[in-house]
Amino acid sequence: MKFVVTGGAGFVGSNLVKLLVKNGHQVTVIDNLHKGKKENLDKVIEKIEFLNLDIQDYDSMEKNMQDVDGVFHQAALTVVQDSFRIPEEYHNVNVKGTENIFKIAHKNNFKVVYASSSSVYGHQKNIPILENYEKKPINPYGQTKLDDEILAEKYSKLGVKIIGLRYFNIFGKGQTLEYAGVITKFLDRIREGKAPIIFGNGSQIRDFIHVEDIAAANYLGMISNVSNSHVNVGTGNSISILELAKLMIKISKLDLTPIMSEALEGDIEKSQSDSSLARKSFDWKPERKLEEWLEEIV
């Protein structure tokens, strides 16, 4: 099949591209290299088409999304703290850019699987979080993802097949430091023999899901019979940031005590998915365990 991956040079996108190539598909990557790196695609670059384009450019998107079976839309600005500083830019890329893809899907008749985020939920009292819980993002980045979901519903009503995946906290090789990269940040400190720095009191709870499991959810969502849905993609388990730091220190066998620092603006307290809908809808389940991955990398 013929697929386009927007944001294909980024963390999630490049892992997804590798999975698609492995499964014998024809892939075009669209990425303006804002954050992504072409090196992330080194292993498959001979087998794919790479286009340095901006998703905000409707005409070039339209031109390059003809006769395709589906578009995996991953491109976005992704740094929560930056979204407070430049909210308009976040809206332009994440919302207007996404609407371009939905519009073209309507015109050219292809299915879209796109990256939403658990950030649409904001603070929730009850965990695990089900898809129908109230959406109340607490930062402009999360708001852009909720705006995308509203657009997805609008275009779904026009007959476009759109699946939105609400990723929880992703970890894995190739993660950028700025975004949700708490594991990468702790690891960098531990490697230098320094204690990890925790923002806030460390009681924040996170559901860490491996990037290869995210790639698989995208693929299975695309080839599934499901036409329209918003689905959680997490493990259904969680760990507090303090426990995570202690676990990483224990694995490193170093004698370190985590350093507490000021809480981050727009940081969510509790995030843990109920992932049964994704399991049921796409026959998907997470394969990689956080503990095993940490043993491997620390």
Which residues would be at the binding site for ligand NAD (CB under 6 A)?
A: 6-7, 9-13, 31-36, 54-56, 74-78, 93, 97, 115, 117, 167, 169-170, 176, 179-180
Q: How far is the CB of 55 from ligand NAD (least distance, A)?
A: 4
Nearest one of 141, 137, 138, 136 to 87, comparing CA atoms:
141
Q: How far is the CB of 139 from ligand NAD (least distance, A)?
A: 12
> CA of 271: how far to CAs of 95, 125, 188, 209, in Å?
23, 10, 24, 12
Q: Of the two residues 32 and 124, which places its CB atom closer to ligand NAD in the complex? A: 32
Q: Of the two residues 119 and 156, which places its CB atom closer to ligand NAD in the complex? A: 119
Catalytic residues, which ones?
A: 141
100: part of which helix (H) or strand (E)?
A: helix 97-108
> CA of 234: how far to CAs of 76, 146, 151, 276, in Å?
20, 18, 23, 10
132: part of which helix (H) or strand (E)?
A: none
Q: How far is the CB of 86 from ligand NAD (least distance, A)?
A: 12
CA distance 137 to 102: 22
Q: How far is the CB of 289 from ligand NAD (least distance, A)?
A: 17
Q: Of the two residues 37 and 195, which places its CB atom closer to ligand NAD in the complex? A: 37
| Cα 21-167-49 angle, rounded to 5 deg | 25
Q: Of the two residues 55 and 249, which places its CB atom closer to ligand NAD in the complex? A: 55
